[in-house]
Amino acid sequence: MTISWVQAAILGLFACLCSNSCMAGQAVGNYTIGRPLVGGLICGIVLGNVPLGIAAGVAMQLVYIALVTPGGTVSADVRAISYIGIPLAMVAITAQGLNPMSGSAANLAKSVGTLVGTVGTVLYYAVATMNLVWQSFGWKDVHNGKLDKLTAVNFGWPWISHALFSFIPTMLLTYYGSTAVTALRNALPMDGVAMKTLFTVGGMLPCVGIAILLRQIINTPLDFVPFLVGFTLAASLHLNLVSVTVISLLFAVIFYEVEMARGSNNGTPSVADGPDDDDEEDI
Amino acid sequence: MENTTDTMKKLDRKTLNKSFHRWFWGALTCFSQEHMQTFGYMASMLPIIKKLYPKHDDQVKAIHAYTAFFNTNPMLGTVIVGITASMEQARSNGQNIDGETINDMRAGLMGPIAGIGDSLIDGTLIPILLGISLGMSSGGSPVGAIFYIVSWVLIAYFGQRFLYFRGYKFGDQAVSFLVGKQGAAIRHAIGIVGSMVVGGVLASWVNVTTSLKLVGSNGKVFLNLQDKLDSIYPGILTVAITFFCWWLMTKKHVSAIWTMLILVAVSLVGVLLGFFNPGLSY
């Protein structure tokens, strides 16, 4: 599988639309087009192999299931994961001759995709920094009372930041990266230590994604109990996720009733502002 | 163009829609580390301000309330934009509201709304949708991806729209639901759903196994570690690695990237010791 300039340019355009400071709206861009699952579908269509794209996207989605960016700090940026990582993973899987649906193909996708994840962070900061230029235009316009120009500051100029730091890097990295990934096939034998480690790491990477998510939703040690209940239901009883969700809804209803009843009994109408408001820190 | 006191100014639906859409599509387009969502906010308040203040000088004066730093969860934050629209309307009608009042409200709300939004939307709703979609997309089928696109975009668009108009209608009382006692109970309950589904996602999709087998002198395997572990608690290695990552990041404040690098080291040692072996060859 190779990636042509046209295909690389289309991937670059999608990278512009879905970055964290995105040009297609946060809900549509970052949260939809940017999710690796959706990115896998789009990369599959662009590169002409939808099942392979989806398989790579599913694998990558697990690593990045938690893309929480508290306070604008970013641990990973979706443009690089979805539109550089997935295409290169697809090329790598094809080059190694793996069955796209196999677990080893998924583990390779996770490793290759995550390697470029840090590139996204660099691009994110580059775009955000360059936007300061357009914002300085904006402050001048507000100061001089030219309010209509604010629309261009917010919707027009940032395209230049993205052309420089989303479009061009994505286009170059996917075009030249695919050649490099194909060439690697001969350099690294599959049963060597390097490839064995790469596949093993690929299998473990989703644990990091889940752990990031746990950091977000677990506030007291007791919160681990529902997590382990969900795990046991799926691992030991082999329930699918819809069934796990239904069972969890039952517990949610019970907890809601208990909490509401507890509040009315001791008669203190304490305004229970969450202690979990915006710190996702320690227990 | 005279401000007559007998006619109260009221924002029409078209203006509110325009303001909402500007937030939906442009909350973060001109993001920077310094001002974050400030310009997205200004751009979405512009139609409101132009409608309420016919005089250019008043418009310029009004926009200055929105030049203050703003950043929150862009989904739930929609409610704050709606609230300011109604406060701005009250201010233009001569009520006792000034730019400072509006700013105090915005500054007071953006923290809690960001915290609730990050854990509710990013931490719970999206993992649930993705968990279900991943199952539908196994085997390379595009159904799950399409399901995610349709369900999430509909929830995001109509949910944000609802929040915007709720904020406009009830002003700053709209938030009491989210941060009040009932809101806290609901959030706690939804947190249970989130934790359980995340556990299910981990069990369904991640499988860390060991290939360690001890072979006796007669060539027979007398210890297959993975089988032993499965008979104790299926998936115990997966849970152990996940807890290890969680412990590193939460208790030791190791960054996600370093955690991944530590996993590389763990894998390398494991491969060299024969604990891990993906068992592949050309």
- Residues B184, B53 share a domain: yes
- Residues B244, B176 share a domain: no
Over chain B, what is the mean pLDDT? Answer: 86
Q: Could you tell me the pTM of the whole model?
A: 0.84
Nearest CA-CA distance, residue A6 and chain B, Å: 23
The model's pLDDT over A163-220, given as tens digits with 9 standing for 90+, comes to: 999 999 999 999 998 888 878 777 777 778 888 888 888 888 889 888 888 887 787 8
- Residues B134, B217 share a domain: no
Residue B278 lies in a domain: no
What pLDDT score was predicted for residue B265? 93
Task: Give me the interface pTM, i.e. the ipTM.
Answer: 0.83
Residue B102 lies in a domain: yes
Residue B6 lies in a domain: no
How many domains does one find in chain B?
2
The model's pLDDT over B113-147, given as tens digits with 9 standing for 90+, comes to: 888 888 788 888 888 899 889 888 888 899 999 99
Q: Domain boundary at B177, B198, B219, which?
A: B198
Exposed/middle/buried for B6, CB within 10 Å: 0-12, 13-18, 19+? Answer: exposed
Q: Domain boundary at B163, B198, B233, which?
A: B198
In terms of average pLDDT, the best of B118-127, B151-160, B267-276 is: B151-160
- Residues B179, B265 share a domain: no
Residue B150 lies in a domain: yes
- Residues B138, B112 share a domain: yes
The residues that bridge with B215 in the sheet, in sequence order, are B221
Cβ–Cβ < 8 Å for B203, B268: no
Chain A residue with minimum CA distance to B269: A197
Residue B123 lies in a domain: yes
Residue B180 has pLDDT above 80, yes or no: no
What pLDDT score was predicted for residue A265? 56
Q: Which among B31, B179, B251 has CB closest to A128? A: B31
Nearest CA-CA distance, residue A97 and chain B, Å: 8
The structure tokens listed for B199 are 């556990």
Residue B117 lies in a domain: yes
Report CB contact under 8 Å: B145, A54: yes
Report CB contact under 8 Å: A263, B278: no
Residue B167 has pLDDT above 50, yes or no: yes
- Residues B156, B43 share a domain: yes
Which of chain B's residues have a Cβ under 8 Å away from the Cβ of A131?
30-32
The model's pLDDT over B214-263, given as tens digits with 9 standing for 90+, comes to: 887 777 777 888 888 888 999 999 999 999 999 998 889 888 888 888 99
Residue B191 lies in a domain: yes
Give the residue ranges of chain A where pLDDT is below 70.
67-76, 263-283
Residue B8 lies in a domain: no
- Residues B148, B35 share a domain: yes
**Over pLDDT 90: what percentage of chain B?**
30
A137 Cβ under 8 Å from any chain B Cβ:
no
Q: Which among B49, B74, B193 has CB closest to A248? A: B193
- Residues B178, B75 share a domain: yes
The model's pLDDT over B39-60, given as tens digits with 9 standing for 90+, comes to: 899 999 999 999 999 988 888 8
Q: Which domain holds residue B114?
A: 13-198
Report the run of H or E that residue B221 belongs to, with start and end. strand B221-224
- Residues B169, B113 share a domain: yes
- Residues B241, B267 share a domain: yes
- Residues B39, B176 share a domain: yes
- Residues B144, B219 share a domain: no
Nearest CA-CA distance, residue B8 and chain A, Å: 25
Q: Domain boundary at B150, B174, B198, which?
A: B198
